């Protein structure tokens, strides 16, 4: 199945990215730092604004705004995922499926990511609140301010 992706130049998007098999390794301190490094790597090469982000053990949510005239979020995610996958600890990697084994890929991330184009200020506010409340929803903390892997701070 092919996913249709609307691409709005300079648009703002909400994303959900999930680890392969929903394995919970993103909040390991070493892996969290690797994820930060991957974001820095991509931001240096393909600038964008991270409006909000939360990293949970097996997935992350974020809102990005792309530069005016730029609509290429897919390259940014590909670079981010591959940089993290090459540099994170071995515990992140799962046994690859036969199709990935043929390509010598290791499974770290689910292949597709979920994207929603932000429509207006109210939509942006709702998604930022969703991001910041997510660790509470999953029972990790009692208040968004208590989760260390969030832009709430």
Active site residues: 149
**For residue 120, what are the contacts with CB-CB under 8 A and spacing of at least 6?**
none
Give the phi and the psi of residue 41 in degrees, each rounded to 5: -55, -50
Pair of tokens at residue 13? 């998007």
Let me know: does 85 contact 92? Beta carbons within 8 Å. Answer: yes
Whether the CB-CB separation of 106 and 20 falls below 8 Å is answered with: no
Residues β-bridged to residue 15: 62, 115
For residue 54 the two structure tokens come to: 């939360």
C-alpha–C-alpha distance, residues 57 and 149, integer Å: 10
């Amino acid at each position: 199945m092919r996913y249709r992706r609307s691409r709005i130049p300079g648009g703002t998007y909400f994303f959900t990215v999930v680890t392969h098999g929903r394995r919970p390794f993103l909040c390991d301190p070493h892996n969290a730092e690797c994820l930060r490094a991957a974001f820095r790597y991509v931001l240096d090469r393909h600038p964008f604004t991270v409006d909000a982000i939360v990293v949970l053990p097996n997935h992350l949510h974020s809102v990005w705004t792309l530069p005016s005239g730029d609509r290429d979020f897919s390259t940014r995610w590909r670079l981010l995922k591959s940089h993290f996958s090459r540099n994170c600890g071995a515990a992140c990697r799962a046994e690859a499926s036969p199709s990935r084994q043929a390509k010598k890929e290791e499974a770290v991330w689910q292949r597709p990511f979920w994207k929603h184009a932000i429509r207006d200020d109210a939509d942006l506010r709702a998604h930022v609140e969703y991001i910041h409340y997510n660790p509470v929803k999953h029972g990790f903390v009692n208040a968004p301010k208590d989760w260390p892997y969030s832009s709430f701070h």
